[in-house]
Each structure stands twice: as structure tokens, then as C-alpha cells.
Structure 1
Amino acid sequence: MNEPTRIAVMGAGAVGCYYGGLLARAGHDVVLIGRESHVDAIRRDGLWLETTTFSERIAVAASTQSEAAQAAHIVLFCVKSTDTPAVAAQLAPHLAPSAIVLSLQNGIDNAERLRQHLSQEVIATAVYVAAEMAGPGHMRHHGRGELVIGETRHRQMLLALFGEAGIPARISPKISEDLWAKLIVNCVYNALSGITRLPYGQLVQTPGAPETMSAILAECLQVAAADGISVPADIQHTVSSIAQTMPHQYSSTAQDLRRGRRTEIDCLNGYVVARAQVHDINVPVNRLLHMLVKLQENSAK
């Protein structure tokens, strides 16, 4: 690309700072829109991007205001799924009509909900990255980093953009199946990591954990089938490989509970429970995990 692409990261937490930081490092014009503590640190010292292959401070613009996205060609929408409607409504007046919005979020229906507020093209994207905010303006990467992007006429541009930044990406003609596969991974790991406060590598070595994880997976597959979704045939391998490729990662649910923040559990195991009710399917393990995380969430208030 001859000129830097203007990119806004809406909800610049761990995921947003990882991808936004790599794109800024590749020479693109990036603004990170996030919490005041991170924004202040990034403005003062740059974004500390600590990855598995390098550690570097990246000079990048940062703001707490959604209007900072007004000149963006591309928006990476990385806010919590529970905040999608409210943040989309805030963002809508500031986006150029030609802007492209990629939903880099957990859950199934964020792109659909974004389209209710935005007239711009919205592309669902499944994200596989292990990362955390280790402090104000400090992103720590634990592994992986692939993006699976829904079909779009901008496919070549997006693949080139991410490729230049060293971000593995592919286009999927069956993004709903990919999102369900990611949802299943999240349902298997997030709540258990949150409740036990264990990283994935230790979690899978806990007595009884593999059997519990298999039960979660089986319930999710039953609900996906009832929803008419053909989950990739290698889903069992995908689930088991997470602990191998991200052994030191704590789930986003664990990170939220540790900080006393609201989790996305309603959009993860809670989503499976809600869809199971529609189809009159019994999902006791997902229901129990959803309840236990909600109890911990409420006790932190």
C-alpha cells in the first residue's frame, strides 16, 4: 500500500492493542480508543508491545473519545460483546460512509447487532490470540494471533494489510461456523479458567477437568446442530490445541473477575444456555458454569 491506512481500534484492550500495535508498527496511521488509564500511558510513553518475539514501545495515537474514529478507513471493533449496542450507537455519527468495520469480539451475533446501528460494511471476524493488559499501556502477548475474516469484497486489501503487519489472516466463506467454533473454545475454557483462576496449561492437568471440558463440548455441539450449524470436523483438535498453544493464558473471564469487572459470560456459556432453551435441550454443565461466573461477578460488586 502506498499510503498508510487510517485505522481506529474501538475498545483498545488486550486484543485491540495487540492488533492495533502491530499495524502501527507496520507504519499505518492507528488510533487506539480505550480506557483513560491506558490512553494516558500510551500518550506519555507509547504502547508497550511485549510479544513472544519482541518487546518494543510503539508510538501511536490514543483517545478516550469515539469521535477519534471519524477519519478511519478501517475500524477494529474490540469492545465487550455486552457493550456492542451502546458503543456502536456512540460510534455511528463519526464514521465515514466508506469505512469498514471488523468485529473482533467474542460471541456469535456481534456483527448482526452492529449492523443495526451502522450503515457501513461490518465484517464478522474470529480471533485466536492469547493476550492481556499487564498494566496501563502495556500489552503482553502469550501466543498465536490468527484472524479468520468473513467474506468481503475487500478481501485482498485486508489480507495484504494484516500480512504486512505479520498478522496471519484468512478469509472464510463460512464465518458462522468459524464463530461457533470459537464460541465452543470460549465455552470450554473461559468459565473454568475464571472460576479456578488457572491458566489453560494448568487447567487441563487438573483431575476431572478433561471430562468436564468434554461435557461442555458435547453440549455445545448439540446446540450448534439444533441451530443448523455444521461445526468444523476438527473441533475436538481445535479445543485441545488451545491449552498446548496458549498454556500460560488466563481467559478473558478470569482477567475480568480478577479486576472486579463484568464478564462476557452471558454471550458465551450463557448464549449456549439461551439457545438450548429455544430448542428444549438440556445443557446442565454450561448452565452451572454460567451461574457460577455470574455469582462471582455479583460478589465482586
Structure 2
Amino acid sequence: MRIAVMGAGAVGCYFGGLLARAGHDVVLIGRPLHVEAIRRQGLRMETATFDQAVPLRAETEASAARGSDLVLFCVKSADTVEAAEQLRPYLAADTLLLSMQNGVDNAERMREVLRQPVSAAVVYVATGMVGPGHVKHYGRGELVIEPATGDAQAAQALIAAGVPTEISANVRGALWSKLLINCAYNALSALTQQPYGRLVEGEGVWAVLEDLVTEGLAVAQADGVQVEGDVREAVRKIAVTMPGQLSSTARDLARGKRTEIDHLNGHLVRRGEALGVPTPANRVLHALVRLMEQAPH
């Protein structure tokens, strides 16, 4: 398959790199710092089972997606509409776009801009860019994707590349489950700059996590969402299975970058307002992270 990765950060580089290793024609579309490094020496992939430089193409412009069968869409949520509009002139009618982003409404926003098939994907992976053109994999790596034209071919390619992939009719419920986990941990990790394992050792933190999840489940119920799995148990497990992990929001804040908090706790606050469900704990964390974004660095 011809595959483009739009927004080739840690998630895009990891999955794009695996697909390139499996023999697919992959182009990474990303920031100049990473693109230049990948052009010089390939994409360095550091995982528990291999550490190697993977040769593949890297570009900075959306035009590099021309002729792609599949686009892994990995831009930050705030950039969704702009990035979709940049891609639009270069996509074939049957190009499948896989939204591999945080948040729960990115695929819907993409469909307002594009006529191509769009599939929302729930991404369960811990990765980070630890240097120019250097992605490190810390754990997991599964995908749950929404039914769409071309989904079977995409899933087959991903599975063959070593990515456990499931097609599910309730991706919305899985996206909300991940959203509630992110709303529990991301802002607290960002504001304290602490990894999950250390974070939960703080006085009163488990009670705050419980408040955040309870509010999120109430909003989901009012919104008619059938949340997948036991979110409270999933939140408890995160601190055990990923004790050294800093949230993506924490990394963005530390680098002085705009976070995705508007599409995490901020989304819950907005949906809660629309549905008449109070979300005081989520509102406080959203406001605090937004204030930290605006603080001088």
C-alpha cells in the first residue's frame, strides 16, 4: 500500500515506521527537524524488540500524500480542520483517512471538510520522540478502528506489520473510554510534571481521579454514549502499567506548546454545559492548564 502519515510525531512515526518495515511505501509528513534527520539517516525506531534505522520518505508538505491509499492522520486536535483542508487537493476519492488522534470528535470534523472515507481510531500506545527522527516505544500498540470503506485492507496491512487491530462498531464508546482516562490523568500530570505512578501517591489524588471519572461518565450517559469497559478499573491500572509515563499534555506544556486540553477536559466541560451536567473538577483542570499555557516561559 501507499501510505502517508500526516502529522508524523511520536504516534505517526511509530505506526508509519512499522508499516515501512513491513514493506509498504510510506511517507512521513512532519516538522522540518524530524524530516531532515529522517532524510539523512532514516527513522530510528527504538523498541523492546528492535532498535534500527528504518529507511522511508519524509516531507514537510501535504502534497506528499498524493496517490496514497491510506492516510494515518495524526495531527494535534486543534489542527484537524486545517490539516484536512491541506490534504484535500491531493487525495483520491477512495483514500481512507484514519484519525489516530486524542479527543472524540475529530473524525466528524474531518468529514465536514473531506468527501473521502474517514475512520476514527482508538490508539493505545505509549511512544515519544526522544530526538530528531528518533521514536521510542514504551508500551502497548493496539488500534480499534471504525468501519469505513477500505477498513479491511487497512486492518490487514496493520496486523501484518505487527499492530493488533480490531474493527469495532462501537468506536465511539472506546473513544470516550480513552477520553475519560485522559481527562483523569493528563491535566494532573501536566500541572505537576509528574508521571502517573508518582502522581497517584499524592494526598487526595485518587479522590480527584474518581471525581473526574464520575463527571465524565455522567456526561457520556447524557450524551447517549455506551462507554466501553470499566473506566474506573482502567484508570486504576494505568498507574500500575505505566508508572513512569508523563502525559502528552505534560510534555507539550513543558515545551511551551499548545496542549490538547480543549479537546480533553474542555470537551467534557462543553458537552456538560450543553447537556446540563455539572463538571466542576474537569472545569478547574481545564482552566488551570489554559492558564499555564499562557504563562511566560
Q: TM-score range by the shorter chain?
A: over 0.9
1:1-301 alignment to 2 at 5 Å? Answer: 5-300=1-296
Render the CA deviation track for 1:78-115: whole Å, top value 9, x for unaligned.
Answer: 00000001111111001111211000001111011101
Q: Which amino acid aligns with 2:290?
A: K
Report the Cα distance in structure 1 between the residues aligned to 2:71 and 2:147, rounded to whole angstroms. 17
Distance 1:38 1:66 in 2: 15
Q: Report the Cα distance in structure 1 between the residues aligned to 2:116 and 2:15, rounded to whole angstroms.
A: 21
The separation in 1 between residues aligned to 2:151 and 2:10, in whole angstroms, is 25
Q: Which runs of 5+ in 2 are unaligned?
A: none
Q: In structure 1, how many angstroms separate the alpha carbons of the residues matched to 2:296 and 2:25?
A: 38
- CA separation of 1:187/1:28 partners in 2, compared to 1, >3 Å: closer, same or farther? same
Shift in Å at residue 11 of structure 1?
Answer: 0.1
Contact 2:14 2:127 in 1 (8 A): yes
Task: For 1:293 and 1:77, locate their aligned partners in 2 and report how far apart those are by CA, in whole Å.
Answer: 25
SS at match of 2:122: strand
Q: Shift of residue 300 of structure 1?
A: 4.2
Give the letter for the 1:292 counterpart: L
Asked if the contact 2:96–2:149 (Cα under 8 Å) also holds between the matched residues in 1, the reply is no
Letter in 1 for 2:148: T
Distance 1:126 1:300, change over 3 A: farther
Distance 1:234 1:52 in 2: 28
SS at match of 1:248: coil
Asked if structure 1 preserves the Cα contact closer than 8 Å seen for 2:118 and 2:148, the reply is: no
Matching residue's letter, 1:254 = A
Distance in 1 between residues matched to 2:154 and 2:201, nearest whole Å: 39
The Cα offsets for residues 186-231 of structure 1, whole Å up to 9 and x where unpaired, read as: 1011111111111122222222221111110000001111101121
Q: CA deviation at 1:243?
A: 2.3
Cα deviation 1:218-273 (Å, max 9, x = unaligned): 00001111101121242222222222222222111011011110000000000000
Taking the aligned partners of 2:252 and 2:48, their CA distance within structure 1 comes to 23
Q: State the distance in 1 between where 2:135 and 2:262 align.
A: 26
Contiguous gaps of at least 5 residues in structure 1: none
Assess if the C-alpha contact under 8 Å between 1:131 and 1:249 holds in 2: no
Relative to structure 1, the CA distance from residue 184 to residue 164 in structure 2 (aligned partners, 3 Å threshold; closer, same or farther) is same
CA shift in 2, pair 1:240/1:31, >3 Å: same
Write the deviation string for residues 128-147 of structure 1: whole angstroms up to 9, x where unpaired.
11111111111111111110
Equivalent position amino acid for 1:49 in 2: M
